[in-house]
Structure 1
Amino acid sequence: MTSTTALRLPAEWEAQSAVLLAWPHADTDWAERLADVETTYTALITAITRFETAIVCVADATVRARAENLLREAGADAARLRFIEIEYDDTWLRDSGPITLFDGKHYQLTDFRFTGWGGKFEAGRDDRLVQGLIARGLFVPAAHRRIDWALEGGGIESDGAGTILTTWKCLSQRHPQLSRAQMARALTDGLEARRILWLDRGYLEGDDTDAHIDTLARFAPDDAIVYQGCDDPDDVHYAELNAMAEELAALRTADGKPYRLHALPWAKPIRDDGRRLAASYANYLIVNGAVLIPGYGDPADAEAARVIAAAHPGRTIVQIPCRPLIWQNGSLHCVTMQLPKGVVA
């Protein structure tokens, strides 16, 4: 049983107030293919508003007008759309948005330092995003805990009951001076977690996050894990992802039982100017009553939908075209951050 008197990081399948996103514009890295990626954002936000509110960060009034026009044409539910004007460097809200803890009555907006994935990109405005959203009155009264320690939301998975799943590759890149024990203490303190499960194997070509867990393996209800498999022995990922699958099979729940594992199919290589893109089906978003899943125009799309539906029974499955997103090395989950029920003002 999960205590209602201690802060915890809810599982993504728990009730939500809204999903937070940031609209791409000409001053972000999307500029070269802005129209293409806007088709994905339009489809994604329209799908979100079928089930709950979408809160869309926009850089200015011009960007807002553009987003509103495209979403209106697509049939998004205007009653479930909310716009907030705020500065941001890029649109990966999974990594720069708030990690919200909850104890049954009170909320804590946990605000880790965002470094642009270990200093790869400029991130000063993104690192101030949570404070800016608080200042604009987005949230109910909640504690704001700023933690001067680099961590991205895409780097952690929570089962809602105190267990965090993450990858050693990512966290050790951010904090090479720390031991695994020191890293675990930082995570348990910052996330009010009870235990940390580590994966040492698993990666995707084209992923510049250093193996974020949300591209590889995801918790699902009733002690299940959905993970990205690879069944092509000629693919460069085959050995690594199968080694990751063995690690997952060896993990145990807090009660000492093995997890129920759901392997996702493997899409054929997608390349752009010779560069392999990270087409992960694990990068899906759970919303109230549904799961929004990446589609890559690949024959494996249908099987991915079947696997995710089996892991999340009773939810509507909606596929979102995500080829434009993976051009910038992330997919559907990376550009969104769910906000738990009750935290939005």
Structure 2
Amino acid sequence: MHHSILPCDFALPAEWEPQSAIMLTWPHGGTDWKPYLRQITNTYLQLADIITRYEDLLVVTPILESTQRMLAEKLSEGQMSRVHLYEMDTNDTWARDHGPISMVSRGRHNSHVIPIHLLDFKFNGWGEKFAWKKDNAINLQLYYQGAFNAALENHQGFVLEGGSIESDGKGTLFTTSQCLLAPHRNQPFTRENIDSQLRNFFHVRNVVWLDHGNLVGDDTDGHIDTIVRVAPHDTLLYVGCDDAEDEQYEDFQALEKQLQKIFTYEGYPYRLLKLPMPDAIYDEGDRLTTDKNSKGDRLPATYANFLILNGAVIYPTYNQPEKDEEAKRQIQLAFPDRDVIGVDSLTIIRQHGSIHCLTMQLPEGAIK
């Protein structure tokens, strides 16, 4: 019997599918990290240490020698052998949003077909809020420096950040209307236009648009990876808010109601696991505080911004022991066979992101 291969069998994998490496874009004095560069560098070294226990690490940095030296001091020789360093100029460090988005072939091919395509969308600083041109050039430079064992697809005509989409690996894509319809991204496209483009880019059959759950202090216009994450077996981990005094209460109650009403492609309700809302954290310039009367900016702390590795999940903690522990329990329920490891993310949120935002996973076989 003759089986013909479908004209297109590339799919957007789920994050928990096998990975070759995690990409990090290293902080340096020319970024907004400058006031607390030592602290954020320590956070990066901690992430590098955990990642290289499970898989390879691809590092983009304009300060190659010092980055290599710091990593060599922190990591064992075996871990260091898993590090791939590439030198290039950068504006900032949010690899989730400037890194490539991977499509993986689900079929069996003859040897000349490259089974991984890396989609290089335009990154424009979340709607031209920040300098972005160097970061937007990273994927192409990595490709030309021979980092990838994959084809690079140019999608520079469309603005899309990795943090704004979530995939279940079987044809459903999650996103948020507030981000994908935000100013200076893809006007004048409507929601219908963008919906059909997402289906075309990622070969999905279902796009779930969430309309609620925007964290105060989030300058991405509401990335999905700060509020709702997909886990195996039709599970969604989402940020809940039970404190009626919190300014975000109504918005997150509405998110919860919306999640209770959506169904899988097969028509089943999702298994919902609620993550706690961290106590509000404010930035007063010289220090962070949880004092409700603070005049500082509220930071978008969230437990949803975790990173899935081969065999582990790294999740953000905020020096709030009870809530940190509750978040860990919920994530462990979703990923029972993985180690769940907390990393203090108080420095990361000073730049309005967390662990997932700093990282981008690359699928098995994607790097040289």
Secondary structure of the residue aligned to 1:210 is coil
Task: Give the CA deviation at 1:70.
Answer: 5.0
2-structure distance, mates of 1:76, 1:305: 28
2-structure distance, mates of 1:68, 1:304: 29
1:303 aligns with 2:326: yes
Q: Does the Cα contact within 8 Å between 1:25 and 1:63 map onto a contact in 2?
A: no
Give the gaps of 5 or more residues in structure 1.
Answer: none
Partner of 1:13: 16
2-structure distance, mates of 1:76, 1:172: 45
Partner of 2:177: 168
1-structure distance, mates of 2:77, 2:216: 35
Partner of 2:192: 181
Query: Which of 204, 218, 224 is the equivalent residue of 2:229?
Result: 218
Task: Count matched residues.
Answer: 342
Q: Note the 1:114-193 alignment, pairs <5 A.
A: 114-173=123-182, 174-193=185-204
Task: Give the CA deviation at 1:57.
Answer: 1.1
Partner of 1:196: 207
Task: Give the CA deviation at 1:51.
Answer: 0.8
- Provide, for residues 104-141 of structure 1, a one-character-per-residue CA deviation record: whole Å limited to 9, x for no partner: 35111101111100000110011111101100111114
Task: Give the CA deviation at 1:76.
Answer: 8.3
- Provide, for residues 278-332 of structure 1, a one-character-per-residue CA deviation record: whole Å limited to 9, x for no partner: 1100000000011100011113000000000001111110101100000000000
Partner of 1:313: 336
2-structure distance, mates of 1:318, 1:259: 25
Task: Give the CA deviation at 1:145.
Answer: 3.2
Where do 4+ consecutive residues of structure 1 move more than 6 Å? Answer: none
Partner of 2:291: none
State which structure, 1 or 2, has the greater radius of gyration over its C-alpha atoms: 2
Q: Which TM-score applies when normalising by structure 1?
A: 0.95
Partner of 2:347: 324
1:37 aligns with 2:40: yes
Q: Which TM-score applies when normalising by structure 2?
A: 0.90
1-structure distance, mates of 2:208, 2:307: 21
Q: Does the Cα contact within 8 Å between 2:45 and 2:71 map onto a contact in 1?
A: no
2-structure distance, mates of 1:182, 1:109: 23
1:282 aligns with 2:285: no
1-structure distance, mates of 2:128, 2:333: 38
Decide whether aligned partners of structure 1 residues 17 and 216 sit closer, same or farther in structure 2, where only a CA change above 3 A counts.
same
1-structure distance, mates of 2:35, 2:69: 17
Task: Give the CA deviation at 1:339.
Answer: 0.2
Identity percentage of aligned residues? 41
Partner of 2:71: 68
1:334 aligns with 2:357: yes
Task: Give the CA deviation at 1:192.
Answer: 1.9
2-structure distance, mates of 1:235, 1:258: 28
Secondary structure of the residue aligned to 1:286 is strand
RMSD, aligned α-carbons = 1.7
Task: Give the CA deviation at 1:176.
Answer: 4.3
Task: Give the CA deviation at 1:55.
Answer: 1.1
- Provide, for residues 167-186 of structure 1, a one-character-per-residue CA deviation record: whole Å limited to 9, x for no partner: 00000002342222111011
Give the gaps of 5 or more residues in structure 2.
Answer: 1-5, 110-114, 285-295
